[in-house]
């Protein structure tokens, strides 16, 4: 028995590589295809259209092929409504539930296409039949009775097409190499930051403590001071060492101005935490004049929100740290809408955490000295990221400098 289903695919499906991927998948999975209609765009501005018949030797096989093609933007020629099943209990959902990609998604409900809100990778889709709205939600937030989408039927994903005009930014996403012109990249990123800023987009920074250890804290603080950062995602370590540096001149006990370890320096990070505990919070410590500069100081002074997510290896932690990881995730998510760009600097843990919450349209730059960390970020699904193998301690000062130069040029 041969099972068959007709599908269609529209857009710049040739030069985006979508058509090729789709055919690949069908054949890799042991299916077959026949091309019924194939209208290729005559010029580069024309969209193409393909109408194919997919066949497989069993219903199960066909189903699993179609499920895969679905993620590439293909959809059945005749689309039925989504299939909704109520959750049996809190967090207990029907088998075969649909899991989202981080691309724009629509569901067909009562014949109408509805955009899915709050899209994020590996979420479920819950449909509110009264409001006729659909929302992506994590498994852990599903409540008894929520109507959850099951199967791919009635779901349409807009697979991102490769941009036609090569923007500043598309130059090399999805790749990792240490053999690229660092200063050229830095200039491009500065340009993009100014562009995003001009268009009113938000910029998030995700940072690890190596920013302080490598002596780049001043550069990041100046970027916050100058208004290039709208929200900071970090952990206890970045904030602690930033404060340690501003109170004692050290980071992890090393004098940043000499590179030498300091006597008794191993105590400094705990002393820094203790000072903030005494003040009650980072904001209080700034207000009371305990902290007089640095990354956290600029965040407070410039009203840039920061989310300090707790981790199992935290010392202290600072009173501002959200020690519950699920609560920290939720807080993080509140700050993501509106972000057009995210800079991730020298932290694998927080980069993957933030990356998980980003729609694929957010411009993402990740800088790390360790190429394996960049590879891992992309393997975990943040495929839109540009990975730069560089040293935070030289990268951030040069970026801050470029922003100064380029914004100066713009003012003229």
Residues 23-82 that bind its own copies (CB under 8 A): 23-24, 26-29, 32-35, 38, 40-44, 64-65, 67-68
Q: Which of 226, 245, 224 is nearest to 411 (CA)?
A: 226
Q: How far apart (Å, rounded) are the C-alpha atoms in residues 178 and 126?
A: 42
Q: Are 80 and 131 in contact (CB under 8 A)?
A: no
Residues in the chain: 412
Write the burial class of residue 46 (CB in 10 Å: 0-12 exposed, 13-18 middle, 19+ buried): exposed
Q: How far apart (Å, rounded) are the C-alpha atoms in residues 388 and 122?
A: 26
Among 72, 116, 210, 295, binds its own copies (CB under 8 A): 210
Examine residue 294 and tell whether it contacts its own copies (CB under 8 A).
Answer: no
Q: Interacting stretch for its own copies, rule CB under 8 A, among 2-10, 102-110, 286-294, 320-328?
A: 320-328
Examine residue 311 and tell whether it contacts its own copies (CB under 8 A).
Answer: yes
Least separation in angstroms between residue 393's CB and its own copies is: 3
Of 121 and 296, nearer to its own copies (C-beta) is 121
Least separation in angstroms between residue 106's CB and its own copies is: 19
Examine residue 371 and tell whether it contacts its own copies (CB under 8 A).
Answer: yes
> DSSP 3-state assignment of 210?
helix
Examine residue 391 and tell whether it contacts its own copies (CB under 8 A).
Answer: yes
User: Could you give phi then psi for residue 271, rounded to 5 degrees?
Assistant: -65, -40
Q: Are 201 and 364 in contact (CB under 8 A)?
A: no
* Residues numbered 143-172 forming contacts with its own copies, rule: CB under 8 A: 162, 164, 166, 171-172
Least separation in angstroms between residue 222's CB and its own copies is: 14
Spell out a b/e string for 256-295, using b for 16 or more CB atoms within 10 Å of the CB, else e. Answer: beeeeebeebeebbeebbebbeebeebbbbbeeebbebbb
* Residues numbered 77-136 forming contacts with its own copies, rule: CB under 8 A: 88, 91-93, 95, 97, 99, 122
**Distance of CA 25 to CAs 59, 71, 276, Å?**
17, 11, 55
Examine residue 329 and tell whether it contacts its own copies (CB under 8 A).
Answer: yes
Among 3, 10, 14, 383, binds its own copies (CB under 8 A): 14
Q: Residue for token digits 């965040």? A: 299
Size of the site for its own copies (CB under 8 A): 118
> DSSP 3-state assignment of 145?
coil
Among 75, 102, 188, 202, binds its own copies (CB under 8 A): 188
Q: Are 35 and 72 in contact (CB under 8 A)?
A: no
Of 77 and 89, nearer to its own copies (C-beta) is 89
* Residues numbered 250-289 forming contacts with its own copies, rule: CB under 8 A: 251-252, 254, 256-260, 263-264, 266-267, 269-271, 273-274, 277-278
Examine residue 395 and tell whether it contacts its own copies (CB under 8 A).
Answer: yes
Least separation in angstroms between residue 398's CB and its own copies is: 6
Of 385 and 398, nearer to its own copies (C-beta) is 398
């Amino acid at each position: 028995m041969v099972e068959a289903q007709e599908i269609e695919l529209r857009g710049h499906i040739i030069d985006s590589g979508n058509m090729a991927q789709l055919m690949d998948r069908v054949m890799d999975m042991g299916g077959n295809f026949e091309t019924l209609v194939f209208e290729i765009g005559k010029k580069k501005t024309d969209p193409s259209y393909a109408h194919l018949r997919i066949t497989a030797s069993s219903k199960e096989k066909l189903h699993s092929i179609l499920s895969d093609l679905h993620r590439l933007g293909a959809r059945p020629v005749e689309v039925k409504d989504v299939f909704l099943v109520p959750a049996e209990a809190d967090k207990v959902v029907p088998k075969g539930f649909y899991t989202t990609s981080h691309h724009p998604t629509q569901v067909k409900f009562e014949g109408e296409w509805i955009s899915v809100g709050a899209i994020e990778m590996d979420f479920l889709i819950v449909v509110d039949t009264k409001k006729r709205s659909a929302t992506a939600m994590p498994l852990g937030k599903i409540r008894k009775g929520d109507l959850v989408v099951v199967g791919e039927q009635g779901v349409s994903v807009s697979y991102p097409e490769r941009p036609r005009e090569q923007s500043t930014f598309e130059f090399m996403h999805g790749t990792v190499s240490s053999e690229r012109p660092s200063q050229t990249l830095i200039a491009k990123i500065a340009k993009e930051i100014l562009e995003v800023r001009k268009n009113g987009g938000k910029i998030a920074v995700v940072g690890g403590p190596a920013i302080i250890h490598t002596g780049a804290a001043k550069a990041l603080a100046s970027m916050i001071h100058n208004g290039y950062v709208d929200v900071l995602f970090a952990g206890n370590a970045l904030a602690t060492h930033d404060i340690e540096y501003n109170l004692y001149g050290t980071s992890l006990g090393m004098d940043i101005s000499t590179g030498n370890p300091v006597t008794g320096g191993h105590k400094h990070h705990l002393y820094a935490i203790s000072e903030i505990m005494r003040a009650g919070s980072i904001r209080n410590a700034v207000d009371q004049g305990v902290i007089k500069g640095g990354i956290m100081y600029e965040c407070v002074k410039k009203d840039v929100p920061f989310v300090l997510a707790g981790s199992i290896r935290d010392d202290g932690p600072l009173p501002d740290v959200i020690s519950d990881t699920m609560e920290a995730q939720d807080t993080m998510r509140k700050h993501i809408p509106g972000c057009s760009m995210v800079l991730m600097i020298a932290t694998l843990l927080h980069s993957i955490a933030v990356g998980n919450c980003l729609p694929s349209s957010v411009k993402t730059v990740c800088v790390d000295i360790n190429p394996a960390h960049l590879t891992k970020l992309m393997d975990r699904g943040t495929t839109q990221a540009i990975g730069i193998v560089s040293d935070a301690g030289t990268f951030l000062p040069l970026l801050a400098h470029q922003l100064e130069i380029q914004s100066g040029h713009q003012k003229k």
